[in-house]
Structure 1
């Protein structure tokens, strides 16, 4: 393994200012790398989003193992708060700094190096390898992986195993595998009153006064131990200090476990709202259903690979936000997420430990060996 290759490739990707949904030239870098080792490249633009599907081997010969990831990153925020240029990867005290270092350009680079090394050692392995790359994961996520999966289905390409390169680890490389995710449901609630003058409250109905009881009932709704409801935005008022507003708007997000359904949650919340006797309007956005990958070849091989190379037994977790794995799991593929530590993702001074970045390709390569070569 050429250890410094993963560092150089990570630096190249970080240098591209691919703020979501812009890919800049990340996918061209990835395509050039993969073409040199024998991959067939298919560019799949949808709207303003760039996507890439790359495959090696006979896709009709199972198993097909796919590495999935995204080239887009979140905005850098206040540039003055960064200690380095976020788009010029910089190594300080064994940490590589830059936007996307952990989420997820370092993981992408590690995947590429791992596959190159594996193919060099095993050019005629039984099966095929794919890369599914999008620039629409951090944003709306409507023209990215979701549509590539539709493309694959139309072309009768079935994924058997998928490793999503999200930064999953908490404290050290290998300590966590995400073998599922909770579902995500967003509610945009409008509590409707009657506008009027603050000096004549009897002629109005103040939605700000109506809201606390309703919001309290919603926040205390017991759905399941692993399900959470959090309010993220509340807005009301006309801008004038002597006007009772007509309505109050609030947004809440629910992350729910596999025992629940989005419709069941909506029904429970609607029941509370109806019982309040308050006029309201609610709009729902269902971002994804929960999924879990139980013990199977991919999960077992991933655990073994981590144990072989780090002597750590990873924790299996479904915590955290949503990822593009939610679009892949419904195909029937075994899906896991595995990558670098996530302590600094989306923050200023995002960074990864160099020794962990250098070690990650070995874990991915070992998974490939266990899936394709070992019996």
Structure 2
């Protein structure tokens, strides 16, 4: 059987800042092949968002297909670590390293859980680009599965969802995310002769002022209210005596399942047009909101958590986006993993005890999935 600590250390020892490729995938493949997984690795995409390496590992058996999804890429470690972010050291019961909780630890735990039984159909859907643009990551894996006729019945994403204690939170959905750019054209000129120029800044300010009054919704049974945030304002005017030729702003909207990304872009465009018909509004939808209604999958995972830890988890949709937004189009999906207190921080670390208990939970999930058929 696979030791989750040893595998986690081997994965953490590899520098895999997004997009991850190469040796970190070698480590995982070397662990999965001996326990019966057919490993399909492929690299896809061109710069600037690629190339990206992905892995689809499948072990075929009887019963429903339980998939585990995760990512081997990590955010840059930053400065100020007690040791190397790639040392994978254990100190005082904690395993340190970039990706310890987000999410190499969970990948190691699931691989170790899968090594405890050879029953059932189990797969790992692993990308090297979740922390980056995600252009050639999980979406490319979904295309790969479709080309091979592979479709999971249910899926767990190993994001670090726990907050105060392992198992206290399962994510059953996530809000969507859209970024919107607003550009207001003007006409450059001397500030002493404003009648010969056209200052775009007042119109942009008026647009943003109205946006600040917009309440998209009040939330619903499973989601918190949607929110619009202004994340950048730019004029780029180096001179104090020149009226600028253009002004722009950027918005980020996190929205619940009462909206769609495209509809929100259209709404902002209409708002901007009321102030300036020449305003240019563009948007990019990072992901739509999704909800896996509480039912068999959330119950399956909840029962396994309670059996191992005694904790009854909360079902939540809070937080940022994850690759579950793509996988939700395939099958019911929930997210469950380690405590998230140190993710993306200096000295990211996981309690070794939690790594083993997470392995126990995932193993229990696999067994229960087979038994419940």
Q: TM-score range by the shorter chain?
A: over 0.9
Q: What's the CA shift string for 1:139-196, capped at 9, x where partnerless?
A: 1111111011012112221110111111111111101101111111110111222222
CA distance in 2, matches of 1:196, 1:350: 52
Secondary structure, in 3 states, of the residue corresponding to 1:279?
coil
Match of 2:287 in 1: 288
What's the counterpart of residue 39 of structure 2? 41
| Deviation sequence 1:225-277 (CA, Å, 0-9, x none) | 22111122222123233322211222111111111122322232222112113
Q: Partner of 1:6 in structure 2?
A: 4
CA distance in 1, matches of 2:251, 2:289: 18
> Which of residues 172, 189, 193 in structure 2 aligns to 1:196?
189
Deviations 1:189-232 (A, max 9, x none): 11222222233333323233332221121122111122111122
Q: Helix, strand or coil: the match of 2:19?
A: coil
1:26 corresponds in structure 2 to 24
Question: Secondary structure of 2:265's partner?
Answer: helix
Structure 1 counterpart of 2:351, from 350, 353, 369: 353
Residue 356 of structure 2 corresponds to residue 363 of structure 1: no
In 1, distance between residues paired with 2:10 and 2:52? 20
The equivalent residue for 1:112 is: 111
1:68 and 2:88 are equivalent in the alignment: no
| Backbone CA RMSD of aligned residues | 1.7
Runs of 5+ unmatched residues, structure 2: 46-50, 219-224
Match of 2:180 among 169, 177, 187: 187
Contact 1:166 1:338 (C-alpha < 8 Å) held by counterparts: yes
- Counterpart Cα distance in 1 of 2:274 and 2:15: 50
Partners of 2:60 and 2:280 in 1: how far apart? Answer: 53
Shift of 1:278: 5.5
Alpha-carbon distance change, 95 to 202 in structure 1, aligned in 2, over 3 angstroms: farther
In structure 2, what is the equivalent of residue 276 of structure 1?
Answer: 275
Distance 2:128 2:275 in 1: 43
CA 1:280 to 1:34, structure 2 compared with 1: closer, same or farther past 3 Å?
Answer: same
Distance apart, 1:348 and its partner CA: 1.8
1:206 counterpart residue number:
199
Alpha-carbon separation, structure 1, partners of 2:237 and 2:303: 59
CA distance in 1, matches of 2:184, 2:168: 44
Residues 262 and 285, structure 2, Cα contact 8 Å, conserved in 1? no
Looking at structure 2, the residues matched to 200 and 105 of structure 1 have their Cα atoms a distance apart, in angstroms, of 61
1:72 & 1:240 partners in 2: Cα distance?
43
* Bigger mean CA offset, 232-241 vs 64-73: 232-241
| Matched residue, 1:311 | 310
Runs of 4+ more than 6 Å apart: none
Query: Hey, what's the Cα distance between the residues in 1 that align with 2:162 and 2:209?
Result: 34
What secondary structure does 2:134 align onto?
Answer: coil
- How far apart in 1 are the matches of 2:42 and 2:196? 58
Runs of at least 5 residues in structure 1 that lack an aligned partner in the other structure: none
Of residues 170-179 and 353-362 in structure 1, the stretch that sits farther from structure 2 once superposed is 353-362
Alpha-carbon distance in structure 2 between the residues aligned to 1:135 and 1:240: 44
Pairing 1:156–2:149 present: yes
Superimposed CA distance per residue, residues 329-350 of structure 1 (whole angstroms, 9 cap, x where no aligned partner): 112x110111011122122222
**Aligned residue pair count:** 362
Measured at CA, do residues 207 and 352 of structure 1 come closer, stay the same or move farther in structure 2, by a change above 3 Å?
farther
